[in-house]
Amino acid sequence: MMYVMSDLRVELATFPTTVEPAPRLATAIGLGPDDLWIKRDDLTGLGGGGNKIRKLEWTVGAALAEGADTLVTTGAPQSNHARLTAAAGARLGLAVVLVLRGSPGVSRSGNLALDGLFGARIAWAGEVDQAGLDRAAAEVCEKLRGTGAKPALIPFGGSSALGARGYAHCGEELRGQLPDLRTAVVALGSGGTMAGLVASLGVEAVLGVDVGALPEPAAAVCEFAGLATPEGLRIRHDQVGAGYASLTAPTAEALTLAARTAGLVLDPTYTGRAMAGLIAAVRDGDIGPGERTVFVHTGGLPGLFGHGEGVAYAEGQVVEYRA
Ligand SMILES: Cc1ncc(COP(=O)(O)O)c(C=O)c1O
């Protein structure tokens, strides 16, 4: 094994990620110029980067320790987690099968095109719910075993108590980088990212913005962070809009604002919603001027190009120069 493993972790990413100030974005949303910092977890290195690599270091490390030769995971067609599982498999010389919701007819741009470049095979599960997706993944694992392969199932979104350890580590990086941090704002999908941050920073220091990936995201955060109750968790549910796959108006505005005041690219599903949640939190007083706030940029850029409405919105932002 050329990649170093310590405990169960296999090194895949570039750490620590940097934090950088965003003074123009801060003042545009009603904070002081020195209040808002960006944790660049979009720059974690492997496969286009993003939050999922921190979790994969642990879940893929465990798979290697079990002797797996094939990684199997589940997700939406534009899953960033699936794309980074494909990249991790390519780097480590493991086969990858991605069990994705939907059918071969969906757009193959964005994350799906990268899955193809990384050499992952796709198993389409049809329009199924979470239980159906899990069943389809179990069947794929069974069939792989029948051919003599040794599959390891990586959990949906990479989220488990083990995967969350990657984000507990991110929280420790943040404490060292911004000792007076009051709130870390992060997108909340399958829950592992927020859970890890909560485990290391405390419930009061993390604001999760629900993207609508799970019906009960607070329960997932509790499970992965080892909390007995959701009491004290700060979660906003006001940015889901018409659902996970939709582009909401506040998210669209957040995409343009972050791009034009910080040169920061957000995506329509996760980081755009998280930024819209931060803007709403400042508006309603949950976050105020004078408080050190960090926006955890969790990546997801390929998802912008795989999101029909998102691409159409971005194309509509093109401004003609007229002399
Ligand atoms: C870009 C991006 N940000 C944030 C998240 C949310 O992380 P989690 O699923 O750990 O809640 C995801 C999950 O898919 C993601 O792809």
- Euclidean distance between CA atoms 145 and 66, whole angstroms: 14
> 157 in ligand 1 pocket by Cβ < 6 Å?
yes
Nearest to residue 152, comparing CAs of 88, 196, 211? 88
Model confidence, pTM: 0.97
Instruction: Judge whether residue 293 has pLDDT over 60.
Output: yes
Beta carbons within 8 Å of 127's beta carbon, 6+ residues apart: 101, 102, 103
Structure tokens that stand for 150 in this block = 């040794």
Instruction: Kindly give the distance from the C-alpha atom of residue 152 to the centroid of ligand 1, in angstroms, as a whole number.
Output: 21
Q: How far apart are the CA of 61 and the centre of ligand 1, in A?
A: 20
pLDDT confidence of 5, banded at 50, 70, 90? low
- Classified as helix, coil or strand, 276 is helix
**CB-ligand 1 contact for 269 (6 Å cutoff):** no
Beta bridge partners of 99: 74, 123
> Which listed residue (6, 79, 109, 190) is catalytic?
79
Index of the ligand 1 atom closest to the CA of residue 191: 11
193 lines ligand 1 (CB under 6 A): yes
Does the Cβ of 191 fall within 6 Å of ligand 1?
yes
Neighbours of 44 (CB within 10 A): 26
pLDDT for 13: 94
Angle at 63 between CA 62 and CA 68, to 5 degrees: 150
Residue 71: count of CB within 10 angstroms of its CB: 25
Q: Tell me the C-alpha distance between 44 and 42, whole Å.
A: 6
Was domain 5-49+160-316 assigned CATH 3.40.50.1100?
Answer: yes
DSSP assignment of 205-230? GEEEEE-SSSS-HHHHHHHHHT-S--
Pocket test for ligand 1, best of 130, 251, 298, 301 (most atoms within 8 A of CB): 298
Strands 292-297 and 95-100: unpaired
Residue 107 is a catalytic residue: no
CA–centroid distance, residue 50 to ligand 1 (Å): 8
Tell me: the pLDDT tens digits for 230-264?
999 999 999 999 999 999 999 999 999 999 999 99
Check if 37 has its Cβ closer than 6 Å to any atom of ligand 1: no
> Is there a shared CATH topology between the 5-49+160-316 domain and the 52-157 domain?
yes
Domain boundary assignment for the chain: 5-49+160-316, 52-157
- Considering the domain 52-157, what is its CATH architecture? 3-Layer(aba) Sandwich (3.40)
How much is the pLDDT for 7? 73
* Residue 289 pLDDT: 98
H/E element, 85: helix 80-92
Tell me the C-alpha distance between 190 and 145, whole Å.
27
Q: Could you tell me what percent of the chain has a pLDDT over 70? A: 98
- pLDDT (tens digit per residue) in 204-232: 999 999 999 999 999 999 999 999 999 99
CA distance 217 to 192: 10
Report CA Rg, the chain. 19
Helix, strand, coil percentages in the chain from 3-state DSSP, rounded to 5? 45, 15, 40
**Rounded distance between C-alpha atoms, residue 256 and residue 252, angstroms:** 7
Query: Averaged over 148-177, what is the pLDDT?
Result: 97
DSSP 8-class letter at 154: P
Please give the Cα distance from 45 to 48 (Å, whole number). Answer: 6
**What atom in ligand 1 is closest to the CA of residue 42?**
1
Cα separation, 109 vs 312, in Å, equals: 14
Residue whose entry in the numeric block shows the structure tokens 């003074």: 23
Amino acid identity, position 80: N
Measured between alpha carbons, how far is 40 from 30 in angstroms, rounded to an integer? 22
Residue 279 token pair: 């803007």
Distance 84 CA to ligand 1 centre (A): 12
Comparing CA positions, the residue from 208, 207, 205 lying closest to residue 189 is 208
